[in-house]
């Protein structure tokens, strides 16, 4: 018997819907929103008994193995020493004061990242993004020509600028 990832990978269906790995910090209602309103293919850890209490590093590895962007509200994932960007399928750390605002940020991310023209299946592979009301930043991993102190700024839509 193999790992959970090796058991699940043959059942992965490749499609046009964004493939998301939602950790335990994403509320159930928001996962429902991602699936029904945004049409995302969401793997939600709370629906899998063996992953409910898994450590963050296990979720990070599992998201990579399942080729899914990890979506969370846990800022621990921004720590590159614990979660090297090059070893991940992409992480989005959301910061929102309530579920309604979180859903607005998810809809924005859907339009500007996942459904943008020519968007790859894993648009943040090897990178991390912090998305909060009024701003979004994509952090590039260190390397030749990369400036870790200068994240790429993404414009915020006018309706999300005020808290």
pLDDT in the model for residue 145: 43
How confident is residue 17, by pLDDT bands cut at 50, 70 and 90?
Answer: very high
pLDDT in tens, 90-144: 999 999 999 999 999 999 999 999 998 889 999 999 999 999 988 777 765 554 3
Reduced 3-state DSSP string for the chain: CCCHHHHHHHHCCCCCCCEEEECCCCCHHHHHHHHHCCCCEEEEHHHCHHHCCCCHHHHHHHHHHCCCEEEECCHHHHCCCCCCHHHCCCEEEEECCCHHHHHHHHHHHHHHHHCCCCCCCCCCCCCEEEEECCEEEEECCCCCCCCCCCCEEECCCHHHCCC
146 against 88, higher pLDDT: 88
Beta pairing partners, 76: none
* pTM for the full predicted model: 0.79
158 against 97, higher pLDDT: 97
Apex 152 CA angle, 148 and 153, nearest 5: 135
pLDDT in the model for residue 135: 76
- Interhelix angle 99-109/28-36, rounded to 10 degrees, is 30
pLDDT in tens, 31-89: 999 999 999 999 999 999 999 999 999 999 999 999 999 999 999 999 999 999 999 99
26 against 154, higher pLDDT: 26
């Amino acid at each position: 018997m193999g790992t959970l990832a090796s058991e699940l990978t043959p059942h992965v269906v490749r499609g046009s819907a964004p493939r998301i790995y939602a950790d335990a910090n994403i509320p159930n209602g928001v996962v429902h929103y991602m699936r029904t309103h945004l049409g995302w293919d969401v793997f939600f850890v709370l629906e899998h008994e063996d992953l409910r209490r898994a450590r963050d590093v296990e979720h990070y590895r599992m998201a990579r193995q399942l080729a899914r962007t990890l979506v969370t509200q846990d800022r621990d994932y921004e720590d590159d020493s614990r979660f090297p960007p090059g070893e991940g399928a992409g992480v989005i750390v959301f910061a929102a004061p309530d579920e309604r605002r979180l859903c607005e940020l998810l809809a924005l991310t859907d339009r500007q990242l996942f459904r943008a023209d020519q968007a790859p299946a894993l648009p943040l592979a090897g990178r991390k993004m912090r998305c909060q009301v009024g701003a979004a930043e994509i952090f590039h991993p260190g390397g030749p020509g990369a400036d870790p102190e200068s994240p790429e700024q993404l414009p915020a839509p006018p309706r999300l600028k005020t808290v």
